[in-house]
Structure 1
Amino acid sequence: MCSPQILAAALAEAPPHDDLCGGHGHTAGARHEHGAHANGHGAVPDGHSASAHYRYSAAARREHSAAARREHSTAPHHEHSPAAHHGRGARTPHEHGASATHAPGRGAAATEGIGRRRALRTALGAALGIAGASAAAGAIGAPRAEAQPLNLGGFSVRDLTHAVGPEFPVFNLYVRQPVQRQVMFEEIIGFNTAEWTMNEHTGTHIDVPAHSQRGLAHADAIPVENLVAPLCVVRITERAAQDNTTELHVEDLLDWERRNGRIPDGAFVAMDTGWYHRVHDPAAYLPFDPLRLALLIPGIGPDAAEFLLTERSIVGFGTDSSSLDVGTRFEPMVHRMLLRSGRYGIENLAALDTVPERGATLVVGAAKLRGGFGAPVRALAFV
C-alpha cells in the first residue's frame, strides 16, 4: 500500500488545475467556463474559486511537514539538504536555469510550477507504483501474460455502433455538434482525460419512453432484460437506394416472416436501409430539402409500427438512419406509438448488413443516465 505521507506530500505540492493543463491547447474561453463569474468568486487567477485554488488543505500540508520532520530526525545529518528542512524537494541548478527560457511575465512562478509538477509526478508515481514501470519491465524482462480469447461457444460479436466524434453528422436544428476538450495530459500528471459535450441523442443511441412523454420511463429505468433480445433484421436496402424517403411497411414484415418464421416474442426489430454507409458524407447522411423543410431519410411506417406493437410482442425497433420516422413526416407519429407503449427505439445503428436476418442476439449497452430522455449505446450482436 502507498504511504499516507507520500500521498499527503503529493497533494500538498499539487498545482491548481490550470497549472496542470496550461499550455496544452486551453484557451481563455475554456478557462472562463470554470471562471470567477461562473462560480461567483472574484480575483482568483484563471477563474478558479478560492476553495479550488487552495484545495489542498492545511491538514495535508501539516502531515507533509510532519513527515519531513520525521525523516529529518531519523536520517543521518549529512544527507539533509536545505530543501529537506522545508519539507520539499530541492531544485537542481538545471531546474533553476530552465526558468530563463520561460516566456516573459512568468519568472519565478513558472519555475515554481515546474518544480511542483515534477514533485507531483514523482510522488504519485512512487505512491502508486507506476514510476519507471516501463523501464523496469524492459530491464528485468518481466514476462507478459498472453491474452486469452473469450470462449463464446461458437458465437462471434459484431459491432452495430458508430464511433462518435466532433464530426459525426447531426441535424443542427435540434442537436449541437459533439465537442471534445482534453483537460489532463500524460506529460504533466501521467494520464489523459477529456470532457465531452454532446446531446444524448447523438450517434448510435436509444430513445426511451420519457423522450416522447413526461412521466414515462427514463434511460436508467429500462428493464435490463429488455436490453438483451433476439435480433430480427428486415432489409429494404435496394428500395432505399432508389428512394430516400421510403418506409418499412407491414408487407416487408410479412415477407420476412415467410422466409424466417414468426418474429419471436421479446425480439428487437431493426430496419436495414444501408444508410450507415453514408455517415462519412453529412450531406448524404442527412440530406435536407429546403423547399419542403424536410430531411430526405427513410423511416418506419405507422402501419409497420402498429403491426409490431399490437400483433407481435417486441421490446423495441430501430433503424440505421437517424430517425424512426421518415424525414418528411412533420409529426413524430412512429416515435409516439413506440415510446408511449413503454418500449424503446434505437437510431443510427451501423453494420446491420454484417448480421443475418434471424438468429443473432442483440445486446444494448445503454448508458444509465438518471433522468435521461435517451442515451448513447454500444450495440453488439452475437451471431
Structure 2
Amino acid sequence: MCSPQILAAALAEAPPHDDLCGGYGHPAGAHHEHGAHAGRSADAHHQHNATAHHQHNAAAHPGHHTATHHELGARAPHERSASATHEHGRGAAPTAEGIGRRRALRTALGAALGIAGASAAAGAIGAPRAQAQPLNLSGFSVRDLTHAVGPEFPVFNLYVRQPVQRQVMFEEIIGFNTAEWTMNEHTGTHIDVPAHSQRGLAHADAIPVENLVAPLCVVRITERAAQDNTTELHVEDLLDWERRNGRIPDGAFVAMDTGWYHRVHDPAAYLPFDPLRLALLIPGIGPDAAEFLLTERSIVGFGTDSSSLDVGTRFEPMVHRMLLRSGRYGIENLAALDTVPERGATLVVGAAKLRGGFGAPVRALAFV
C-alpha cells in the first residue's frame, strides 16, 4: 500500500465525485426515488438527508401489519443537474478537459499504487493468481434458497418501494465499479426479527448466531397451494411430516414449501391482489401450526417461500406476532425448497447485521 501522503497528493487535483462519474449512474426518473428532489437547478448539487426514512404501516408484509415500520434510511449520493441525467447510468459525453483530468487522476493513482498506468488494470502486471482450492464440505452439497434481488423483484408497492440500483463509479473512469442500492429491509429473501413486531425486542444485529445455523425441516403443501392460493399450513401437516420423518428436532427451522417461488418472474402471479377483498391471495402459516411449533416443539423459527408468514387474507398479523414476540425469527420469500429433502439438511442464514434493523436481507443456504 502507498502512504496516505502519496495518495493524498494523487487526489489533490481530483475533480469532485460528480465530475469523476461524468454523469454516469443517473437513470431517467431516478431523482424521485427515496427522497431525491425534483427540479434541481442546473448548477446546483444537493446532499440528501442521510437519516431520511420511508415510514409505512400495517403491511410492510402485505395485508397483515398494524404496527408502524420504517424502511432502511438510504443515503442518496450527489446528483448531477436535471439536464444531465441519462438512461441507465450513461451520462453526456465527457469534455476533453474532463477526460484529461480523469486520465491524470488514474495515472497519478496508478503511480501511487505501484501500477504501470491503466494497462496494469487489465492484468498485464501483477502476481500470478493462485489456483482455487475446492471447499471441503465433507460430503455435503450446498443448495441456495435465496432469490436474486434486483429492481424487478416483486413487491407490494402500496407499502414497499421497488429496489433501486444506481452505479456511481465506473472502471473506465476511475478503475473500479461500485453501485448504491436503495431497498426496503423486507425485500426479497429476508429475515423478520422480534423488533419487527414490537419495539424493545431484538433487532437484526442481536439475533444469536447459534440460532442462524439449524436443522432444516421442509413441510410441503405444494399440491394444495396449486389449487388454493390462500391455503395455510396446519397442525395436521406437521403431524403428517413427523409420521414420515420423526419428531421435529430441537433447535430446528421449519420451512413451508408451497412451490410459490416458481412464480417470482410473474409479479401478478407472485402477488395476486383481490381488489374486492383488498387482500393478497397468497398462502401462509396457520395460527394452529404456529402455536404447535412454539409450544409443543423447540424451534428457532419458521419461514415460507411466499412473501408473508401470514396468509394474505388475514389482516391482523397474528402469526407474525406469535412467532416474533416469542423471541424467534422468520424468513420470507425463500426459494428452491423443492431442491432439499424434508429432513436432514442444515440451514445457514447469512443475515445482514443491520444495527437497529427490523429485518434484513439474507443469503439462505442449505447443506445437504
C-alpha distance in 1 between matches for 2:67 and 2:249 = 75
Instruction: State whether residues 191 and 361 of structure 2, in contact with CA within 8 Å, keep that contact through their aligned partners in structure 1.
Output: yes
With normalisation by structure 2, the TM-score equals 0.80
Partner Cα separation in structure 2 for residue 92 and residue 284 of structure 1:
32
Structure 1 range deviating more: 296-305 or 134-143: 134-143
Whether the 8 Å CA contact 1:9–1:61 is kept in 2: the answer is no
How much does 1:99 deviate? 21
What are the Cα deviations for residues 24-50 of structure 1, in whole angstroms up to 9, with x where unaligned? 24269868999999xxxxxxxxx9999
Structure 1 residue 291: Cα displacement? 0.8
Distance between the aligned counterparts of 2:292 and 2:157, measured in 1? 32
- 1:230 Cα deviation after fit: 0.4
Do the aligned partners of 1:219 and 1:368 also contact (CA within 8 Å) in 2?
yes
| Residue 124 of structure 1, CA deviation | 1.3
SS in structure 2 of the partner of residue 52 of structure 1: coil
Cα gap change, 1:288 to 1:57, in 2 (>3 Å): closer
Give the superposition deviation at 1:9. Answer: 2.2
Shift in Å, 1:148: 1.1
Q: How big is each residue's C-alpha offset from its partner over 1:101-132, in whole Å with a ceiling of 9 and x where there is no partner?
A: 99999999976433321121112122224445
For the structure 1 residues 49 and 267, does the alpha-carbon distance in structure 2 shift closer, same or farther, using more than 3 Å as the test? farther
Aligned 8 A contact 1:34 1:48 in 2: no
Deviation digits for residues 196-229 of structure 1, max 9, x if unmatched? 1100000000000010111111101101110000
Q: Which moved more, 1:47-56 or 1:291-300?
A: 47-56
1:122 is aligned to 2:114:
no
In 1, are the aligned partners of 2:25 and 2:91 still within 8 Å (CA)?
no
Deviation at 1:187, TM superposition (A): 0.8
Please give the secondary structure, in 2, of the residue aligned with 1:230: strand
Q: 1:71 to 1:374 in 2, by over 3 A?
A: closer
- Ranges in structure 2 where 5+ consecutive residues have no aligned partner: none
1:217-250 per-residue CA deviation (whole Å, 9 max, x = no partner) reads: 1101101110000000000001100110100000
- Partners of 2:22 and 2:91 within 8 A in 1: no
Deviates more, 1:361-370 or 1:114-123: 114-123
Residue 271 to residue 22, structure 1, CA distance change in 2 (3 Å): same
- Alpha-carbon distance in 2 for matches of 1:77, 1:343: 19
Q: Identity percentage over the alignment?
A: 93
Whether the 8 Å contact between 1:8 and 1:61 is mirrored in structure 2 is: no
Partner of 1:255: 240
* 3-state SS, counterpart of residue 328 of structure 1: coil
**Structure having greater relative contact order (Cα 8 Å, sep ≥ 6):** 2
Check the 8 A contact 1:102/1:110 in 2, yes or no: no
The CA RMSD over aligned residues, in Å, is: 14.9
Larger Cα-atom Rg: 1
Identify the residue that residue 40 of structure 1 maps to in structure 2. none
Partner Cα distance (2:310, 2:66) in 1:
75
2:276 is aligned to 291
Q: What is the CA distance between 1:11 and its match in structure 2?
A: 1.4
Distance 1:244 1:152, change over 3 A: same
User: How many angstroms apart in 1 are the aligned matches of 2:280 and 2:112?
Assistant: 56
Q: Is the 8 A contact 1:36 1:48 kept in 2?
A: no
Q: Contact 1:324–1:345 (CA<8 Å) still a contact in 2? A: yes
* Closer, same or farther: CA 250–224 of 1 in aligned 2, 3 Å: same
**Structure 1: tracts of 5 or more residues without a match:** 38-46, 80-88
Task: Indicate if the aligned counterparts of 2:62 and 2:159 stay in contact, CA closer than 8 A.
Answer: no
The 8 Å contact of residues 363 and 379 in structure 1, kept in 2 or not, is answered as yes
Tell me whether 92-101 or 321-330 shows the greater mean CA deviation. Answer: 92-101
Task: Tell which deviates more after alignment, 300-309 or 133-142.
Answer: 133-142
Residue 298 of structure 1 deviates from its aligned partner by 0.4
1:274-309 CA-partner distances (Å, limit 9, x unpaired): 000000000000001111111000000000000000
Aligned to 1:54: 46
How many residues of Structure 1 are paired with residues of Structure 2 in the alignment? 365
Residues 280/184 of structure 1: CA separation in 2 closer, same or farther (3 Å cut): same
Distance 1:75 1:128 in 2: 52
3-state DSSP class of the match of 1:361? strand
